[in-house]
């Protein structure tokens, strides 16, 4: 944990740690299966403001007191940079001139929390007659867990003892975890189709 002091502001930086595990098993000389697990993580941004003092209004160069011995405590907590919990199962089939791979991933997007900050506010404004509006409440979202399939192929166009020329093709489909936006939120996303082409020497 690192801290930094700038003027009257104090910053704390805490690292985010999460485990990632993987295992592979050669069933035969041609067939390999694998499993990987990655824990979810999120970056929490916690901002606190504390004020003690007097409030005055200035008109024409003259200062008029508005409230004395004012106290204000504000806390804002938001969740950013979210990555869902993931589990992936994969299969590889290696032939003489052709290699085929595929995997299926589960992503736990149902644990997603909106980035809108949750604000708590406490204030003592004395007999000034001032009032602060209630902080807005974050609109809940209902993201869904998704399944992402991927497939790839590698073919030897030219194969010699000292070098090879390999052609590669890949594809994945990732559905959006977002529900239909019919309320106050406007999260933008869509289903994704990904293609890749490559050559290896």
**If you average pLDDT over every residue of the chain, what do you get?**
86
pLDDT in tens, 122-166: 887 766 667 777 777 767 788 999 999 999 999 999 888 889 999
Mean pLDDT within 48-59: 79
pLDDT at residue 174 above 70? yes
- Through-space distance between the first and last CA atoms of the chain, rounded to whole angstroms: 45
Three-point CA angle 101, 144, 21, nearest 5°: 45
Per DSSP, what are the bridge partners of residue 172?
150, 194
Largest CA distance in the chain: 90
Of 150, 143, 151, 134, nearest in space to 181 by CA? 143
pLDDT in tens, 4-21: 545 566 677 778 788 999
pLDDT in tens, 34-51: 999 999 988 888 888 888
């Amino acid at each position: 944990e690192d801290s930094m002091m700038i003027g009257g502001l104090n910053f704390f930086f805490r690292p985010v740690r999460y485990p990632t595990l993987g295992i592979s098993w050669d069933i035969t000389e041609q067939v390999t299966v694998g499993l990987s697990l990655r824990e979810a993580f999120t970056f929490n941004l916690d901002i606190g403001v504390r004020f003690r003092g007097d409030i005055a209004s200035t008109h024409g160069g003259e200062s008029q007191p508005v409230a004395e011995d004012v106290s204000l405590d504000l806390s804002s907590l938001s969740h950013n940079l979210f990555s869902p919990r993931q589990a992936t199962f994969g299969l590889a089939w290696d032939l003489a001139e052709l290699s085929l791979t595929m995997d299926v991933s589960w992503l736990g997007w149902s644990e997603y929390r909106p980035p809108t900050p949750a604000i708590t506010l406490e204030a003592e404004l004395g007999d000034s007659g001032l009032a602060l509006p209630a902080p807005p409440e974050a609109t809940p979202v209902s993201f869904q867990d998704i399944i992402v399939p991927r497939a790839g192929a590698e073919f030897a166009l030219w194969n010699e003892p000292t070098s090879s020329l390999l052609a590669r093709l890949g594809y994945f489909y990732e559905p959006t975890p977002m529900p239909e936006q019919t309320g106050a939120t406007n999260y933008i996303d869509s289903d994704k189709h990904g293609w890749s082409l490559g050559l290896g020497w």
